[in-house]
Amino acid sequence: MSECLDHCLICGVSRAEVDAVRRRDHYTLGCGIESNTESGFDYDELSPRHRWSPWSDKDLARAGIKSEAFEKYRTADSMTLQYAACDDRVRGHVIVSEESAEFAGLRVGQCWDCGKQIEREASNE
Ligand SMILES: [Zn+2]
Ligand SMILES: [Zn+2]
Protein backbone atom coordinates (compact mmCIF):
# COMPACT_ATOMS: atom_id res chain seq x y z
CA MET A 1 0.00 0.00 0.00
CA SER A 2 1.83 3.07 -1.24
CA GLU A 3 -0.89 5.63 -0.61
CA CYS A 4 0.35 8.49 1.53
CA LEU A 5 -1.82 10.72 3.69
CA ASP A 6 -1.17 14.39 4.40
CA HIS A 7 -1.74 13.98 8.12
CA CYS A 8 -0.86 11.47 10.80
CA LEU A 9 -3.63 9.05 11.74
CA ILE A 10 -2.40 8.91 15.32
CA CYS A 11 -1.78 12.54 16.33
CA GLY A 12 -3.58 14.31 13.48
CA VAL A 13 -0.67 16.66 12.75
CA SER A 14 0.06 17.34 9.09
CA ARG A 15 3.26 16.26 7.37
CA ALA A 16 4.04 19.85 6.41
CA GLU A 17 3.81 20.92 10.04
CA VAL A 18 6.00 18.07 11.22
CA ASP A 19 8.60 18.87 8.56
CA ALA A 20 8.58 22.58 9.39
CA VAL A 21 9.11 22.02 13.11
CA ARG A 22 11.78 19.41 12.48
CA ARG A 23 13.67 21.79 10.24
CA ARG A 24 13.26 24.81 12.52
CA ASP A 25 13.43 23.34 16.03
CA HIS A 26 15.00 19.94 15.38
CA TYR A 27 12.43 17.85 17.14
CA THR A 28 9.52 15.79 16.01
CA LEU A 29 6.08 17.21 16.54
CA GLY A 30 3.27 15.00 17.80
CA CYS A 31 3.87 11.32 18.22
CA GLY A 32 6.93 9.50 17.03
CA ILE A 33 9.70 10.98 19.15
CA GLU A 34 12.84 9.93 17.38
CA SER A 35 15.39 7.75 19.08
CA ASN A 36 18.58 9.44 17.90
CA THR A 37 19.02 11.41 21.11
CA GLU A 38 22.39 11.81 22.78
CA SER A 39 21.13 10.35 26.03
CA GLY A 40 20.46 7.17 24.12
CA PHE A 41 16.97 6.63 25.37
CA ASP A 42 14.83 4.80 22.93
CA TYR A 43 11.66 6.84 22.97
CA ASP A 44 10.22 4.87 20.12
CA GLU A 45 9.05 2.31 22.57
CA LEU A 46 7.17 4.88 24.59
CA SER A 47 5.63 6.77 21.74
CA PRO A 48 4.08 5.53 18.52
CA ARG A 49 5.52 6.68 15.22
CA HIS A 50 3.59 8.93 12.91
CA ARG A 51 1.27 6.99 10.69
CA TRP A 52 1.23 8.43 7.17
CA SER A 53 -0.38 5.55 5.36
CA PRO A 54 -3.87 4.04 5.63
CA TRP A 55 -4.27 1.20 8.12
CA SER A 56 -3.59 -2.25 6.79
CA ASP A 57 -6.02 -5.13 7.24
CA LYS A 58 -3.75 -6.39 9.97
CA ASP A 59 -3.86 -3.09 11.86
CA LEU A 60 -7.63 -2.96 11.62
CA ALA A 61 -8.00 -6.56 12.72
CA ARG A 62 -5.76 -5.84 15.69
CA ALA A 63 -8.00 -2.89 16.58
CA GLY A 64 -10.94 -5.31 16.67
CA ILE A 65 -12.64 -4.10 13.48
CA LYS A 66 -14.73 -6.58 11.48
CA SER A 67 -13.38 -7.30 8.01
CA GLU A 68 -16.64 -6.04 6.45
CA ALA A 69 -15.97 -2.63 7.99
CA PHE A 70 -12.27 -2.34 7.09
CA GLU A 71 -12.80 0.13 4.25
CA LYS A 72 -14.85 2.38 6.51
CA TYR A 73 -11.93 2.78 8.92
CA ARG A 74 -9.06 2.65 6.43
CA THR A 75 -8.09 6.28 7.04
CA ALA A 76 -9.88 6.91 10.34
CA ASP A 77 -7.80 8.57 13.04
CA SER A 78 -6.76 6.47 16.00
CA MET A 79 -9.44 7.86 18.31
CA THR A 80 -12.20 7.02 15.85
CA LEU A 81 -10.72 3.59 15.50
CA GLN A 82 -10.60 3.13 19.24
CA TYR A 83 -14.24 4.14 19.58
CA ALA A 84 -15.50 2.41 16.48
CA ALA A 85 -19.23 1.67 16.38
CA CYS A 86 -20.17 -1.60 18.09
CA ASP A 87 -21.65 -2.92 14.85
CA ASP A 88 -18.27 -2.55 13.16
CA ARG A 89 -16.35 -4.45 15.82
CA VAL A 90 -15.71 -8.13 16.13
CA ARG A 91 -16.85 -8.17 19.72
CA GLY A 92 -20.07 -6.28 18.98
CA HIS A 93 -22.00 -4.68 21.82
CA VAL A 94 -20.95 -5.10 25.41
CA ILE A 95 -24.15 -5.87 27.26
CA VAL A 96 -24.59 -4.63 30.82
CA SER A 97 -25.19 -7.51 33.18
CA GLU A 98 -27.52 -7.51 36.13
CA GLU A 99 -24.64 -7.28 38.62
CA SER A 100 -23.09 -4.19 37.04
CA ALA A 101 -26.23 -2.34 35.96
CA GLU A 102 -26.86 -0.82 39.36
CA PHE A 103 -23.45 0.69 40.07
CA ALA A 104 -22.94 1.78 36.49
CA GLY A 105 -26.27 3.55 36.38
CA LEU A 106 -27.24 1.65 33.28
CA ARG A 107 -30.09 -0.68 32.48
CA VAL A 108 -29.67 -4.41 32.13
CA GLY A 109 -29.34 -5.31 28.48
CA GLN A 110 -27.95 -1.89 27.54
CA CYS A 111 -24.59 -1.56 25.77
CA TRP A 112 -21.70 -0.15 27.82
CA ASP A 113 -20.21 1.53 24.80
CA CYS A 114 -23.01 3.03 22.74
CA GLY A 115 -25.82 3.01 25.30
CA LYS A 116 -28.16 1.24 22.93
CA GLN A 117 -30.73 -1.01 24.53
CA ILE A 118 -30.07 -4.43 23.12
CA GLU A 119 -32.90 -6.90 23.28
CA ARG A 120 -31.72 -9.69 25.48
CA GLU A 121 -33.85 -12.17 23.59
CA ALA A 122 -32.04 -11.24 20.36
CA SER A 123 -28.66 -12.34 21.65
CA ASN A 124 -27.59 -15.80 20.59
CA GLU A 125 -26.30 -16.86 23.93
ZN1 LIG B 1 1.70 11.37 14.60
ZN1 LIG C 1 -22.96 -0.99 21.58
Give yes or no for a contact between 31 and 79, defined as CB atoms under 8 angstroms apart: no
Alpha carbons 75 and 12: distance in angstroms, whole number: 11
Domain coordinates in residue numbering, the chain:
1-53, 55-90, 93-125
Q: Please give the C-alpha separations between residue 28 and each of 14, 44, 45, 49, 96, in angstroms, as whole numbers.
A: 12, 12, 15, 10, 42
| 17-27 pLDDT tens trace | 988 988 898 87
Q: Is residue 65 classed as helix, strand or coil in its secondary structure?
A: strand
**pLDDT tens, 38-58?**
555 555 555 677 888 999 999
For residue 16, report the distance from its CA to the centre of ligand 2, in Å: 37
Percentage above 90 pLDDT, the chain: 50
DSSP 53: S
Distance, in Å, from the CA atom of 96 to the CA atom of 78, rounded to the nearest integer, reads 26
Phi first, then psi, for residue 22 (nearest 5°) are: -65, -40
Counting ligands in written order, which one lies closest to the CA of residue 15?
1
- Which residues place a Cβ less than 5 A from the ion ligand 1? 8, 10-11, 30-31, 50
Mean of pLDDT over the chain: 83
Q: Give distance in angstroms: CA of 79 to centre of ligand 2.
A: 16
96 Cα: distance to centroid of ligand 2 (angstroms) = 10
